Structures are given as C-alpha cells and as structure tokens.
C-alpha cells in the first residue's frame, strides 16, 4: 500500500464510477516506491479530456492538446491525462500528433524511463509492464524500448536521464548511456530554457557529480557557447550545500572558466536570471583574486562583496580542496571580525555625512573623500568607530587638505 492523498483516491473512484479506468502514474509512483515524498500526483485515465472536464467541478485546461486537464480537489491540483500514443516526432522534441487510446500499456510505453512508467491503483496495486520496479531496485535509468529511437523522438530525454541520475543517485544503464553518446548532437533541438531547467536540476540534486556525464557523453559540446577549458571531476560539488547558485559557481570554477566575458556569455546563452548571473560572476571574480593576507585587506574585500558572497567563495575553495590553509585562516579572521562586531560596511560607520555637514563640512566631492578615508581608518583600527572620534579625525583631514 502506498500512501496517497485521499483526494487522488476520490478522483480515481469517481472516474471508475463512470466506467473509466484511472491510475496514479509517473514520478509520484516512483518516488513513493522509493520512500520519498512525491512532489505532485499525476493520474492517467481512459476518459477523454472533455469527460474529465464534465465530471469534476473545478478543472483547468492545462494541456488539452496532449490530453491533460488539471482537477482541483480541496485546493490540491492533480494532472489528469488521457491514455495516449505519441505519433511521429519530426522536431526531436514534441510529437506531431497524439492519439488517445483506451490502452494503459500503450500510454506507459510512450513514457521515457522504466522507473517513470509504473502505475498504482489503490485497490489493484502496482502495474509495471516494463519492469520499472526492478530498475528502481537496481538503481538504473533505462529507456522504455530502444534508447536510440526514444532519444531520436525527444532529445530532452537525454538530459532528463542525467537529471534523474543526479536527483535519485541512480546509474544510467549502459545501452541507454551509449545511445546518449551517439545522439548527443541532437540536443541542439532543445530550447535553452529547457536545457537550463535540466542543468539546474542536475546541479541541485543529491548526486550533482552526475554533471560529469555531460562530458562523458559529449552533450557538453552542444549546450555551451564556448569550449570548456577543463574536464574535471565534479565530485567536490557533493560536499557543497544544495544552494543552486553556489553549485553553479563551483561548477563554473571546476570547468576552468575564469574569463569574465566567457562566463557572461555562458550565463546569457543559457538565459539565466540576472540574479544567478551576477552571483556566478561575482564569485568567479572573488576566486580569481588571491585570498586576503590580513584583516584590513579582508575587511576591504568584505565591504566590496558582502559577507555572503565571500563566505560562499570560501566554501567553494574548501569543497575543491584548494588554498585550504589560507581559506581556513581567512574564515577564522571573518569569525573574529563578526564576533568583535567590527565595522565592515560604510553604512556601519559611526558618523554619517549629515553629522559632518551639521559640523560645518561642505557637501560635495571632498566630503565623500573624507568619509572614505574615515572608513579606511576604521577598517584599520576598529576602536575609532565612534562619532566624536571620527568627527575629530575628519576635522584633521580637512585641515590637511586645506594646508
């Protein structure tokens, strides 16, 4: 017995009461069999989309062309899809036409991997014509049917295979992997948005080192706009927290990219968000420079980049095992700076421009320069960060300026 929401059971029995067949299918069955939490629940049925719309009170026409209707029960969405056969693929991504069928086995046959082609029925139990359970037990990703044909129909499946390897920690079955090697070039038919989605899934998985498979199979040559300088092991990614941006920055480093323009080109090519792109560029920049040797230089760097980016960069160095001792020393200095509450940002300076203006300083460029000097003084000697002390220093600097 798999633990499924009562709403899914209700949808299935309602469809059955009208004479249709209905089952849970795909990712949710796979995840539940593995003891994982299912992300969402997909139902497949012999009912046609218009029947589904007619039978339930709240529905959305999600993908009517492909037979999918979303049924909302108690506020929970369930994708209910009509059994279908995908006809002829000419664009290496989507079938030219789908044919609805009364046959559950036909529907399971068009699915990508055996582990994703298992059905579950609350009363009838598991239906598994392609031995998906055997592959879950053997931790294998294997296409349903001939892998070359299946990747020929839809090239995205190749990246999905790598993503499932990363998210489940499985191996790609040898014949399936060989077919990826042979068909790698067809990945050019897939949109960059979809490619990025899958790469994100690979990098944030429990086995992000699966990124290596992109190199082993040659896919990497077709998804980046510039040649990759290094083929490295991506094992270090595993010891990093699951944060996607951090994993991306580490992967960029592991591939040997240091040139800002090249990194920018990759991020733009893959249509990353500005936030992700800026993060990767900033970390790449920090990692390019030598680590600060003393607290003053460190605080100057922290004031430029912010603590979060700098700490993430150190985390990457730790994972990569590079500069280990230096990185450790910098980490200790950072702890020291924060436990002493030392000023590392201009906004934490005890004197503001308006305080100085009140004291008779003239607003303008020179005042800006004076404040910058005060900031450098405080970075050197944290004890100076008091309003009166800084006003006094500012007055002395001004005297020196006008001497």
User: 68: closest CA among 81, 78, 51, 87?
Assistant: 81
Residue 103 or 345: which CB sits closer to ligand ATP?
103
CB of 79 to ligand ATP, least distance (A): 8
Q: Both ends of the chain: CA-CA distance in Å?
A: 87
Query: Is residue 277 near ligand ATP by the rule CB under 6 A?
Result: no
In terms of DSSP bridges, do strands 68-73 and 76-82 run parallel, antiparallel, or are they unpaired? Answer: antiparallel
Q: Which residue is nearest to Mg ion (CB)?
A: 27
Residues 31, 274: Cα–Cα separation, whole Å? 33
CB-based contacts of 137, cutoff 8 Å, min separation 6: none
- Could you tell me the two tokens for 120? 């579950």
Helix (H, G, I), strand (E, B) or coil at 140: strand
Residue 116 or 245: which CB sits closer to ligand ATP?
116
CB of 70 to Mg ion, least distance (A): 13
Cα–Cα–Cα angle for 123, 127, 128, rounded to 5 degrees: 160
Query: Are the beta carbons of 87 and 101 closer than 8 angstroms?
Result: no
Q: Scanning residues 146 to 175, which ones bind ligand ATP (CB under 6 A)?
A: 154, 156-157
Residue 162 or 246: which CB sits closer to Mg ion?
162
CB of 39 to Mg ion, least distance (A): 6
CB of 211 to ligand ATP, least distance (A): 17
Residue 159 or 266: which CB sits closer to ligand ATP?
159
Site string for ligand ATP, 18-57 (x = CB under 6 A): --------xx-----------x--x---------------
Query: Are the beta carbons of 371 and 378 closer than 8 angstroms?
Result: no
Orientation of helix 295-305 relative to helix 365-380, angle to 10°: 130
CB of 179 to ligand ATP, least distance (A): 14
CB of 111 to ligand ATP, least distance (A): 4
> 72 has which bridge partners?
77
Residue 27 or 218: which CB sits closer to ligand ATP?
27
Residues 99, 162: Cα–Cα separation, whole Å? 29
Applying CB under 5 A, which part among 26-34, 57-65, 124-132, 251-259 lies near Mg ion? 26-34
Residue 41 or 211: which CB sits closer to Mg ion?
41
Applying CB under 5 A, which part among 25-33, 197-205, 245-253, 294-302 lies near Mg ion? 25-33
Q: Residue for token digits 């139990």?
A: 125
Query: Is residue 116 near ligand ATP by the rule CB under 6 A?
Result: yes
56-63 CB contacts, 8 Å cutoff, 24+ apart: 56/11, 56/14
CB of 136 to Mg ion, least distance (A): 16
Q: Which residue is nearest to ligand ATP (CB)?
A: 27
CA dihedral 227, 230, 231, 232 (to 10 degrees): -150
Query: Is residue 119 near ligand ATP by the rule CB under 6 A?
Result: no
HEC secondary structure over 46-92: CCCHHHHHHHCCCEEEEEHHHCEEEEEECCEEEEEEECEEEEEECCC
User: 52: closest CA among 41, 64, 40, 39?
Assistant: 64
Query: Is residue 27 near Mg ion by the rule CB under 5 A?
Result: yes
Residue 182 or 194: which CB sits closer to Mg ion?
194
Query: Is residue 77 near Mg ion by the rule CB under 5 A?
Result: no
Q: Which does 253 bind (CB under 5 to 8 A by kind): ligand ATP, Mg ion, none?
A: none
CB of 250 to ligand ATP, least distance (A): 23
Cα–Cα distances in angstroms (integers) from residue 286 to residues 53, 105, 297, 316, in the given order: 55, 54, 13, 11
Residue 186 or 200: which CB sits closer to Mg ion?
200
Site string for ligand ATP, 65-104 (x = CB under 6 A): ----------------------------------------
Q: Give the ranges where 94-171 is alpha helix by DSSP (H).
A: 104-109, 132-137, 147-153, 156-168
> Which residues bind to Mg ion, rule: CB under 5 A?
27
> Which residues bind to ligand ATP, rule: CB under 6 A?
26-27, 39, 42, 111-112, 116-117, 154, 156-157
């Amino acid at each position: 017995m798999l633990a499924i929401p009562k709403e899914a059971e209700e949808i299935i029995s309602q469809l059955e009461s009208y004479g249709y067949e209905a089952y849970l299918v795909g990712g949710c069955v796979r995840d539940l069999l593995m003891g994982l939490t299912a992300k969402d629940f997909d139902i497949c049925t012999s009912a046609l989309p218009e029947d589904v719309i007619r039978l339930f009170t709240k529905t959305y026409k999600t993908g009517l062309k492909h037979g999918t209707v979303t049924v909302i029960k108690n506020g929970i969405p369930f994708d209910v899809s009509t059994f279908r056969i995908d006809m002829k693929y000419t664009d290496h991504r989507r079938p030219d036409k789908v044919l609805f069928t009364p046959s559950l086995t036909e529907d399971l046959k068009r699915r990508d991997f055996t582990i994703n082609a298992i059905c579950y029925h609350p009363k009838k139990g598991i239906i598994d014509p392609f031995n998906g359970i055997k592959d879950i037990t053997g931790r294998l990703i294997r296409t349903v049917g001939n892998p070359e044909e299946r990747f020929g129909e839809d090239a995205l499946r190749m990246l999905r295979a790598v993503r499932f390897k990363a998210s489940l920690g499985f191996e790609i079955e040898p014949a399936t992997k060989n077919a990826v090697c042979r068909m790698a070039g067809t990945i050019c038919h897939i949109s960059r948005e979809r490619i990025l989605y899958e790469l994100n899934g690979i990098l944030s998985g429990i086995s992000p080192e699966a990124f290596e498979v992109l190199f082993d199979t040659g896919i990497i040559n077709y998804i980046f706009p510039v040649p990759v300088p290094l083929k490295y092991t991506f094992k270090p990614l595993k010891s990093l927290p699951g944060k996607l941006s951090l994993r991306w920055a580490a992967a960029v480093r592991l591939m040997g990219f240091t040139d800002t323009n090249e990194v920018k080109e990759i991020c733009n090519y893959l249509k990353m968000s500005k936030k992700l792109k800026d993060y990767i560029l900033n970390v790449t920049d920090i990692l390019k420079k030598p680590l600060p040797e003393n607290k003053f230089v460190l605080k100057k760097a922290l004031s430029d980049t912010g603590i979060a980016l700098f700490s993430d960069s150190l985390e990457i160095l730790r994972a990569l095992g590079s500069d280990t001792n230096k990185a450790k020393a910098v980490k200790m200095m950072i702890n020291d700076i924060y436990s002493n509450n030392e000023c590392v940002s201009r906004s934490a300076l005890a004197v503001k421009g308006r305080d100085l203006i009140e004291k008779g300083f003239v607003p303008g460029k020179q005042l800006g320069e004076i404040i910058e000097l005060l900031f450098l003084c405080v970075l050197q000697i944290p004890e100076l960060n008091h309003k009166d002390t800084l006003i006094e220093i500012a007055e002395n600097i001004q005297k020196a300026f006008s001497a």
